[in-house]
Chain A
Amino acid sequence: GQNIDQPTEMTATEGAIVQINCTYQTSGFNGLFWYQQHAGEAPTFLSYNVLDGLEEKGRFSSFLSRSKGYSYLLLKELQMKDSASYLCAVRDRFITDKLIFGTGTRLQVFP
């Protein structure tokens, strides 16, 4: 089976750095994704990791350790508009490729 864990909520201050962790257990790991979802809107793709290490994309970076079943999303120079839910998703290929989402971490950025 699959299991994905992330903190439910986090708060941070504008300009700060925040790290959102995700741990997963899956029978056929085939990549990890981070999505951002603003309230009342659709999720949008942020990042993809399939090999161990850090992927950087502007203010956002995502890290993966396959041996530990662990990933994090790092957001730097936080802005108010970064207040959103951040969804960790794992692609599982046990039977066929499908994206399994975690419950998401709701991040609130305060001035």
Chain B
Amino acid sequence: DTAVSQTPKYLVTQMGNDKSIKCEQNLGHDTMYWYKQDSKKFLKIMFSYNNKELIINETVPNRFSPKSPDKAHLNLHINSLELGDSAVYFCASSQDVNTGELFFGEGSRLTVL
């Protein structure tokens, strides 16, 4: 059983489209995250949720909207995709907001054409 699973693993789409990435964790953790890793391998936090509540919202365009229906799920919806959105998006979870040990999903590679 995968601890943090995200789907899809690969996503190829045209500019202007809307797409979603789903994430689920079965670790019983309270906190979930979305990170973006660009072509230079720089891993940057986008959002963080604790028990379904948004706690971190970095400077991310409004086109990105996270949704956490419950504390085991954190989905990411992206509107009007742009070329610069091409990256690997990693979902992660941690026991709580005070724990820095993150458990990452396998990543979702998004390519915008």
Pick from B62-70, B79-87, B98-106 the stretch touching chain A.
B98-106
Which one of A17-25, A61-69, A71-79, A92-100 is at the B interface? A92-100
Q: Residues of B within 8 Å of A, CB-based: how many?
A: 21
Q: What separation, in Å, do the CA atoms of A45 and B100 have in the docked complex?
A: 9
Does more than half of chain A's interface fall in helix, strand or loop, or is it mixed?
A: strand
Check A33–B45 contact: CB distance below 8 A. no
Chain A-chain B contacts (Cβ-Cβ < 8 Å), number: 51
CB-defined A-B contacts under 8 Å, sample of 15: A33-B101, A37-B41, A42-B105, A42-B107, A43-B43, A43-B102, A45-B102, A89-B100, A96-B97, A97-B97, A98-B56, A101-B35, A101-B44, A101-B45, A103-B41
Which of these, A43, A45, A103, contacts B42 with CB under 8 Å?
Answer: A103
- Neighbour of B45 across the interface among A45, A99, A103, A106, CB < 8 A: A99
Please list the residues of chain A having a beta carbon within 8 angstroms of any beta carbon in chain B.
Answer: 31, 33, 35, 37, 41-45, 48, 85, 87, 89, 91, 96-101, 103-104, 106
A97 touches B45 (CB 8 A): no
Known: A41-B107, A43-B90. 11 other contacts (CB 8 A): A41-B106, A42-B104, A42-B106, A43-B102, A45-B101, A48-B101, A96-B55, A98-B56, A99-B45, A101-B35, A101-B45
**A44 and B43 contact, CB distance less than 8 A:** no
Judge whether B41 and A85 touch: CB under 8 Å. yes
For the complex, what is the distance from the CA of A43 to the CA of B41, rounded to whole Å?
11
Contact indicator B100/A33 (Cβ below 8 Å): yes
CA of A55 to CA of B84, assembled, Å? 39
Q: In the complex, are the beta carbons of B43 and A101 less than 8 A apart?
A: yes
Alpha-carbon distance between A45 and B104 when the two chains are bound, in angstroms: 9
